[in-house]
Amino acid sequence: MKCNEIEFLLSPYLDNELPQEETLLIGTHLNNCDHCNKLLAELKLDLQNLNTTLEPFEHDLNQVIDRFLFKKSYYPQEKSISYPWFIHLLMGATCGILLTITTFVFVFPNKTEKQIEDLNQKIVQQVNSYDSLKQEYDNLATSSSRKTQFIAVLTEEYDKKIIELTQKIDHQIGLYSKLQTEYDLLAVHVADLKQGGIGRINLLIGNMEVYKQNMDKWETAPIGTIITKNTKIRTTAGCKAEIELSNSNTVRMNELTEIVLNNNNEFTIESGEVWTKVSNNSGLGQHTTIPVPNNIYTGHGIITVTGTEINIEVTKEWTTLAVIEGKASMANTNGKSKDLGKGKACRMNNETVDIPVYLSTIEKGTKWMLDIMMAKGRDNPEIRKQILKWLSMMGETKVEFLAEEQIKSYGTACVIPIAQYIKSEDCLNKPAAREKAIKILSDIGDWYAVEAFILLLADESSHLRTLAAKGLERVTGTNLNYTIEFWEKGTDTKPALDKWRSWWDKNKQGKISEDLDIQIEKVNKKFK
């Protein structure tokens, strides 16, 4: 038992009014507790004082009872002041009651109330201390939350700055690389011009031969051979070559091809297959804007190009032109002509010029050049650019010539070609095909479509933005807290676009492969 329980049982303990079990427990407690023994001693003293005080009144009370009951007189016979019996009875009872009340009401309760008061004060102190600690904790939590938010904002701004800085550095590196290439090329051209050259053999696979005006036979030409005006050039079986001209034009020759370089703005194809990229300048530098026509002659007529990438195949029967970039015109010796745009092919002979048609396959006019690109190294950016162009052309073909449901039946094999097509400039000029492609991609696109989706979020069309946002949320499983309605409205979307670009830069690793071989293998599972 505890002291606070013992304290209220001491009085009945003294009067032997408690059960035997409680009496034993209290006795055991008193043997070990000085505090409760002290209270017991005080209680005994108070009771003793009370008995001493009440003894005279008890004597008078007995006398009154004797007189009243037994008619006896205990008072002396001498004269004295006498009070009626009931006065003595009243006085004795009153004093006894007052003393009892004083002892039990004011002595012991005062001690209990003091303890309760002390306990209340301690409780108040603890509550105040708790409130103070809680307030301090809340202040620290608020401060910590603000610091966390501030750090998050700083981190996001830091990431944006890093991305912007990286983009600027990449841009500067690209400019430097481009200027360095131009400088090196100009240095070569200057050296060639000093020797009367209009170009030189830049790349060679196999054996190539040249026949100059001052020669009477063909001789093997190694890489670096300077080509002068009116030089005949031919490739042997299995040979492929690239010639850089002084006006930045490029001529590539397939095997068993023979040409005559009249000057750096025109050449004649005797037979075989030639790919040429014609710059949009006069040879005065890469940054001039003077359009200079370039003429290519065959036994069937003339082809005129400016700022164009084309492929020409010449046989005894036909001259076939395929326009890969830009536009060109062809006219036969009979005066008939046709104009061709990008992605178109046409053939002519001395009698007729066919109606231009779309290139039937992506390999047409470009497949043989892959050997030349690979000879420049697997990391050659032209290889990546060309493969992405082929994928884009494949996507364009599927979108324009197949029904939507038929394309979807191929599944994710269509995603890469269609995504490349959507990102191409050609797609911008064909609104109906573009919308069809985006709708398909929104429904079946995978991680390879994410970059196209993010690009489309900046589109002027709210409908296309909505399709892109739906596809993006479906593939990634998040909307970064930007709803479909937000993109449909299209107000102040730059922060959202930056957030999506930053998210993709952080998360694309492991989601897609940058290796084009893997991408092509993914496509080839369905398309051959």
DSSP-based three-state secondary structure for 342: coil
The winner for highest mean pLDDT among 47-61, 79-93, 108-122 is 108-122
Q: Is 213 helix (H, G, I), strand (E, B) or coil?
A: coil
**Do 328 and 353 touch, CB atoms closer than 8 A?**
no
Question: Measuring CA to CA, how many Å separate 279 from each of 117, 282, 291, 294?
Answer: 101, 8, 9, 9
310 token code pair: 């084309």
337 HSE (CA, 13 A, CB side): 9
| Residue closest to 388 by CA, chosen among 441, 433, 451, 445 | 451
The Cα 236–Cα 475 span in angstroms is: 52
pLDDT band at 187 (very low <50, low <70, confident <90, very high): low
The whole-chain average pLDDT of the chain stands at: 80
DSSP string, 422-466: HHSHHHHT-HHHHHHHHHHHHHH--GGGHHHHHHHTT-S-HHHHH
Indicate whether 231 pLDDT > 70.
Answer: yes
C-alpha–C-alpha distance, residues 184 and 520, integer Å: 34
For 338, phi then psi, to 5°, come to -145, 145
Least trusted range by pLDDT, from 276-285, 296-305, 370-379, 509-518: 276-285
Distance separating alpha carbons of residues 210 and 197, to the nearest angstrom:
14
Rounded-to-integer distance, Cα 342 and Cα 426, Å: 9
DSSP summary character for residue 411: G
Query: Looking at residues 49-62, what average pLDDT do you find?
Result: 59
φ, ψ dihedrals at 196, nearest 5°: 80, 15
pLDDT the model gives residue 526 = 53
Comparing C-alpha atoms, which of 330, 337, 324 is closest to residue 303?
330
Q: What is the mean pLDDT of residues 15-25?
A: 83
Widest distance between CA atoms in the chain: 186
Q: Are 426 and 396 within 8 A, CB to CB?
A: yes
What's the CA dihedral at 504, 509, 513, 515 to 10 degrees?
110
The pLDDT value recorded for residue 216 is 80
Mean pLDDT, residues 278-297 taken together: 64
Question: Tokens 């409205």 correspond to what residue?
Answer: 489
Which of residues 197 and 305 earns the better pLDDT score? 305
Give the tens place of pLDDT for each residue, 158-179.
788 888 888 888 888 878 877 8
Are 439 and 399 a contacting pair, CB within 8 Å?
Answer: no
Lowest mean pLDDT among 299-303, 315-319, 323-327, 519-523: 519-523
| pLDDT tens-digit readout, 235-248 | 999 999 999 998 88
**Contact residues for 212 (Cβ-Cβ < 8 A; gap 6+):** 228, 231, 232
Pairing of strands 308-314, 301-305: unpaired
In this prediction, residue 66 carries a pLDDT of 55
In DSSP terms, 312 is beta-bridged to: 274, 321
pLDDT mean over 136-149? 78
Q: Does the structure show a pLDDT above 70 at 342? A: yes
What DSSP element (H or E) covers 47?
helix 34-70
Q: What pTM did the predictor assign?
A: 0.53
pLDDT in tens, 372-414: 887 887 677 877 887 788 788 888 888 988 899 988 888 888 8
Task: Tell me 512's DSSP state.
Answer: B
Examine the pLDDT at 94 and tell me if it is beyond 80.
no
Least confident of 51-60, 160-169, 506-515: 51-60
The DSSP call for residue 329 is: E
